[in-house]
Amino acid sequence: MDPAPTRLASGAELRLTGPRGAPAVVLANGGQASEVEGTWSATLEWLVGHLAPRFPELAFAEVRYRIKSWKRLDLCEEDVRAAVAEVAAPRTLLVGFSMGGAVTSLAADAPGVEALLGLAPWLPDRLDLGRVVGRRLDVLHGTLDRWLPGIPGVSPDLSRRGFERAAALGVNGTYELIPGALHGAALRSPWGALIPLPRAGAWVDGAARAIERFYAAG
């Protein structure tokens, strides 16, 4: 990993694990209603920590938004596009966790993007999925994921509808439920340590399968 995050042209930040100039996996975090400063995703950090050793030939780029809010999807989209441009990979897989599913769908037509992976992706019915056309879309979602008061979550029914809307546009891919999984693979403790959630390993394995399909397609 680079010793310090890279400041992107948009003002967001990027953490890179792996070789520059290689095919890249660009990972976008979730968000919330309040317009608050972006953070590094515990789920995405956990996944990169386990996936990068499996795929040392790939570059893994985590994005820290300027503002992580679904009220500012425009800014989040700009941040992901800036990350894709900064990495300048010959081929790119976009990975969107939670709200990042919507963000990566909007940024899907960035140069070099060939595929998307949604991790418990927020794909609201009003979201235009037209930019995903011509790219592959794989989705992983926990069966126990749901929104509860004070607890973030995305219903699998919502991501399923989004996946089916994309399929109706001609988008190829897979939709996979992870039995017993919650919203994501990990949480961050108050002291900064990553705490894996139930079925964290299944998230890693599912993401690895999607990455293998992306890499093999090249």
pLDDT in tens, 135-190: 999 999 999 999 877 667 999 999 999 999 999 999 999 999 999 999 999 999 99
The residue whose two tokens read 């300027």 is 66
Measure the CA–CA gap between 200 and 197, rounded to whole angstroms. Answer: 6
Measure the CA–CA gap between 13 and 82, rounded to whole angstroms. Answer: 9
**What average pLDDT does the segment 192-210 reach?**
97
pLDDT of residue 32: 87
Statement: residue 39 has pLDDT above 80? yes
The residue whose two tokens read 């976009």 is 94
Statement: residue 14 has pLDDT above 70? yes
pLDDT of residue 55: 97
pTM given for the model: 0.96
Amino acid at 91: R
Pairing of strands 92-97, 59-64: unpaired
Q: Which residues pair with 26 in a beta bridge?
A: 61, 94
Q: Could you tell me the pLDDT band of residue 133, with boundaries at 50, 70 and 90?
A: very high
Give 80-96 as a DSSP string.
Answer: HHHHHHHH--SSEEEEE
Query: What average pLDDT does the chain have?
Result: 95
Neighbours of 165 (CB within 10 A): 16
Amino acid at 59: A
- pLDDT more than 90, % of the chain: 91
Q: CATH number of the domain at 6-216, out of 2.40.30.20, 1.10.238.10, 3.40.50.1820, 3.40.50.2300?
A: 3.40.50.1820
**DSSP 8-state assignment for residue 79:** H
Statement: residue 3 has pLDDT above 80? no
- Average the pLDDT over each of 1-5, 7-11, 28-32, 207-211 and give the range with the smallest value: 1-5
Residue 46 makes CB contacts below 8 A (sequence gap 6+) with 185, 186, 194, 196, 200, 204
Quick: pLDDT tens for 49-101. 999 999 999 999 999 999 999 899 999 999 999 999 999 999 999 999 999 99
